[in-house]
Amino acid sequence: MWSGRRGLLRPLGCGVEELRCRRREREAALRKARREQQLVSKRLLRDEATEEAEEGCVVVILGEAEIQEFLRLAQRGIEEKERERALVSLRRGLQHPETQQIFIRLEGSIRTLVGLLTSNQALLQLEAARCLHELSHSEQSAVAEACLPATSYLLTYLSGHSSDFIELCLYTLGNLIVESEAVRRQLLPQGIVPALAACIQSPHLTVLEALGYALSQLLQAKEAPEKIIPSVLGSTLPQHILQLLQPGPKLNLGVAVEFAWCLHYIICSQVNNALLITQGALTTLGLLLLDLAVAVQRTKNAGLELLVCPVVRCLSNLLTEAAAETVGGPVHLRDERVVAALFILLQFFLQEQPSLLPEGLWLLNNLTANSPSFCTSLISLDLIEPLLHLLSVSNVVSVLVLTVLCNVAEKGPAYCQHLWPGLLLPTLLDTLALSDTEVVGQSLELLQLLFLYQPGAAQAFLQQSGLQALQRHEEVAQLQDRVHALQQTALHG
């Protein structure tokens, strides 16, 4: 999945605390960006071998004259080694934003670089591509957009055979794609979707991961639902994506992560999910979920949450489609292993990434809402108590847990019977002691169902000082009607 060469976490004397701090800052910046709907990230691919050789070298800002000299040597040097070295020096310089600025303002520089990219000197081609890649990674729009003249060639090379080169072209394209709608308006007519559809048949995992990245960037675009996703759905890409997500020994984590996110962007855009279902998306994703639940028990710190998250999202959203009722696979067949798997993953989230718990519970809601079968699975697999244990995590999680419990309870007495007595009553009384209106509100809903379907529930509630617990909320606007109703039921039956 990750090669050492993608490492950007070069210690360089950074302490652990500094790294954590940097991570917190980045996280905050990303949250802000997402709220402004500007969440874009570029991927930088730097060769580890090259990095090692360059360790200790400070990235120097190159001036105009130096850049021109390097370009001249690269283009017209006599010896191939000399030409290559010139490009390597240029590439190193281009790691610095200031060099990038100088470079793009130099007349003819991009043209020369594109010329080298399309030359038939293999190593020069590679170095020229690396230069372009550095430029594409820039956060300055002007720098990234300077790469536009190269896009038709980058796309042409996707049908080639050199996997390293194709990988580089893909990451460069992926970076350019997120740059602006203007760039995408050029790439789409240039045929990026058919080019990717052809390239996805490559057997090279590095190429596939890069392709998944580029495609995910394309699908994440704001205009994707109208302008991009329809043509992606019309291509052979979805079938190949689903194939790459098939669980089994051939599943590669890095590749799967990228394509799972691709699928998520497609599905949550709700363009034509029925098509994906007919292509077997629900079946594949259901089986993959089972596989992941096994995997998380086996491997520690594998970054599996990066794959579990989009898979959960895809499944959950697909379940809401009408077409979901008509297909096979573990989900449709109400295979209780799906519920077992989900709980193992919930436990995994609790340990590794608690912020993802709501998403897992959302899937559980969508599985249980209209399904007596899955509700029964929760009971037959003894999962009610573990579910109750999640109530202390956060308000959002609590609301979702209570919703799932309501899904079970609303199916009638046969279900409520299994919810009672156990920990449910004391737990509910605890939640009533909270002040979050939504949590309390959902607890009241559950209580109504229990009073309705479970004989003795109201009685036990009274005996455990339930009325006092309710009193706290008598004055709260959103709660008072329900509080009074419950008080009446408890007292008068």
Partner 1 sequence: MQLPPALHARLAGAPGAAAPLPVQRDHLAGNAPFRFAARQVRFPREHEFFEDGDVQRHLYLQDVITQVAAEPERPRVPEFTCQVAGCCQAFDALEDYEHHYHTLHGNVCSSCKRAFPSGHLLDTHILEWHDSLFQILAERQDMYQCLVEGCAEKFRTGRDRKEHLVTHHLYPADFRFDKPRKGGGYVAGLAEAASWAQQARECADSCHLTSRPASQVSTEAPGEDQAPPEGDAMEVCSEHAEAHPEPPRERRVYGHRIPSTICFGQGASRGFKSTKKKSKRL
- Hey, which residues between 400 and 439 contact partner 1 (CB under 8 A)? 406-407, 410-415, 418
359 near partner 1, judged by CB under 8 A: yes
Alpha helix ranges (H) inside 353-394: 357-368, 372-380, 384-389
253 near partner 1, judged by CB under 8 A: yes
Answer for which of 140, 162, 239, 487 binds partner 1 (CB under 8 A) is 162
Answer for which of 51, 279, 327, 386 binds partner 1 (CB under 8 A) is 386
Answer for which of 64, 82, 98, 481 binds partner 1 (CB under 8 A) is 481
CB of 406 to partner 1, least distance (A): 5
Binding positions for partner 1, 458-477, rule CB under 8 A? none
Under 8 Å between Cβ of 319 and 329: no
Under 8 Å between Cβ of 285 and 264: no
Stretch that binds partner 1, among 28-36, 238-246, 425-433, 461-469 (CB under 8 A): 28-36
Answer for which of 51, 54, 66, 336 binds partner 1 (CB under 8 A) is 336
Residue with token string 């190269």: 150
Under 8 Å between Cβ of 1 and 254: yes
Omega into 238 within 30° of 0, i.e. cis?
no
Under 8 Å between Cβ of 257 and 307: yes
Stretch that binds partner 1, among 29-37, 50-58, 88-96, 138-146 (CB under 8 A): 29-37
Binding positions for partner 1, 173-192, rule CB under 8 A? 186, 189-191
Displacement of CA 478 from its chain's centroid (Å): 35
Under 8 Å between Cβ of 157 and 31: no
377 near partner 1, judged by CB under 8 A: yes
CB of 56 to partner 1, least distance (A): 21
26 near partner 1, judged by CB under 8 A: yes
CB of 120 to partner 1, least distance (A): 5
105 near partner 1, judged by CB under 8 A: no
**Identity of the residue, 213 or 259, whose beta carbon is nearer to partner 1 in the bound complex:** 213
CB of 380 to partner 1, least distance (A): 4
233 near partner 1, judged by CB under 8 A: no
Residue type, 113: L
CB of 369 to partner 1, least distance (A): 4
Answer for which of 115, 227, 233, 437 binds partner 1 (CB under 8 A) is 115
Q: Please state at what angle helix 357-368 crosses helix 372-380, rounded to 10 degrees.
A: 120
Under 8 Å between Cβ of 315 and 359: no
Residue 425 structure tokens: 């009553």
Stretch that binds partner 1, among 88-96, 243-251, 420-428, 440-448 (CB under 8 A): 440-448
CB of 237 to partner 1, least distance (A): 12
Answer for which of 61, 306, 323, 467 binds partner 1 (CB under 8 A) is 306
**Identity of the residue, 301 or 463, whose beta carbon is nearer to partner 1 in the bound complex:** 301
Q: How far apart are CA 406 and CA 392, in angstroms?
A: 18
CB of 33 to partner 1, least distance (A): 8
Task: Provide CB contacts within 8 A for 110, sequence distance 6+.
Answer: 104, 146, 147, 149, 150
Closest listed residue to residue 50, CA positions, set 188, 221, 168, 223: 168
Omega into 421 within 30° of 0, i.e. cis?
yes
CA separation, residue 287 to residues 278, 330, 342, 363 (Å): 16, 7, 12, 15
485 near partner 1, judged by CB under 8 A: yes
Answer for which of 63, 139, 160, 422 binds partner 1 (CB under 8 A) is 160
Answer for which of 281, 309, 311, 439 binds partner 1 (CB under 8 A) is 309
**Identity of the residue, 383 or 429, whose beta carbon is nearer to partner 1 in the bound complex:** 383
Under 8 Å between Cβ of 169 and 129: yes
CA atoms within 13 A on the CB side of 10: 11
CB of 374 to partner 1, least distance (A): 8
330 near partner 1, judged by CB under 8 A: yes
41 near partner 1, judged by CB under 8 A: yes
CA separation, residue 71 to residues 88, 107, 155 (Å): 11, 12, 24
CB of 65 to partner 1, least distance (A): 10
Other C-beta atoms closer than 10 Å to the C-beta of 468 total 10
Binding positions for partner 1, 42-101, rule CB under 8 A? 42-44, 49, 68, 71-72, 75-76, 78, 80
Other C-beta atoms closer than 10 Å to the C-beta of 291 total 17
257-273 in b/e burial notation, b at 16+ Cβ within 10 A?
Answer: bbbbbbbbbbbbbebbb
Stretch that binds partner 1, among 56-64, 120-128, 276-284, 455-463 (CB under 8 A): 120-128
The secondary structure of 212-233 as a DSSP string is HHHHHHHHTSTTIIIIIHHHHH
230 near partner 1, judged by CB under 8 A: no
Q: Which helix (H) or strand (E) holds 72?
A: helix 64-76
Answer for which of 60, 194, 327, 434 binds partner 1 (CB under 8 A) is 194
Binding positions for partner 1, 201-220, rule CB under 8 A? 213
Answer for which of 90, 210, 290, 397 binds partner 1 (CB under 8 A) is 290
